[in-house]
Structure 1
Amino acid sequence: MLQLRPSCECCDKDLSPDSTEARICSFECTFCASCAENVLAGKCPNCGGELVARPRRPAAKLIKFPASTERVVKQHGCQEAV
């Protein structure tokens, strides 16, 4: 089950479980759309994988299966993709 992490690893922007701005790779590294597109060029800086829109969990399921509260943030943000 996806963790639905609460923030962007680059800029620490809040990403609610129902956010349409969240992007993830196959390892669930999580970024906001702005960082994913403008800084990372659609490529995860951790694994090199593709960043895609994160699925949204139905609100009724969030009660039984809540989103993660663990924030993962890169100490120095993300470097611009070359």
Structure 2
Amino acid sequence: MLELRPNCECCDKDLPPESREAMICTFECTFCADCASDVLQGECPNCGGEFTCRPVRPAAMLAKYPASTKRILKAEGCVPVKAA
């Protein structure tokens, strides 16, 4: 089950469970759509994987299986994989 992380790892923007702009990679690294496309150019800086839209969990299931509250933020900032 997806964690539904609460923020962008790059800019710390809030990404609530119902957000349609949350992007994830195969390891659930979570970024806002702006950072995923403009800063990271579609490639996860952690694993090199591609991003896809994070699905929205239905409200009834969200009550039973709540989203994560653990915030993850890259201390060194976001650097595109190609620039590393």
| TM-score of the superposed pair, with normalisation by structure 2 | 0.93
> What is the CA RMSD across the aligned residues, in angstroms?
1.0
- 1:21-51: CA deviation from partner (whole Å, max 9, x where unpaired): 1000000000000000000011100000001
The residue aligned with 1:50 is: 50
After TM superposition, the runs of 4+ consecutive aligned structure 1 residues lying more than 3 A away are: none
Alignment TM-score, normalising by the size of structure 1: 0.96
The equivalent of 2:34 in structure 1 is 34
Q: Provide, for residues 35-76 of structure 1, a one-character-per-residue CA deviation record: whole Å limited to 9, x for no partner.
A: 000000111000000011000100111110000000010002
Q: Which runs of 5+ in 2 are unaligned?
A: none
Match of 1:18 in 2: 18
* Structure 1 residues 7-26: Cα deviation after superposition (integer angstroms, max 9, x where no partner): 00000000000100100000
- Letter of the 2:77 partner, please give it: G
* Identity value in percent: 66
Uncovered stretches (5+) of structure 1, i.e. residues with no partner: none
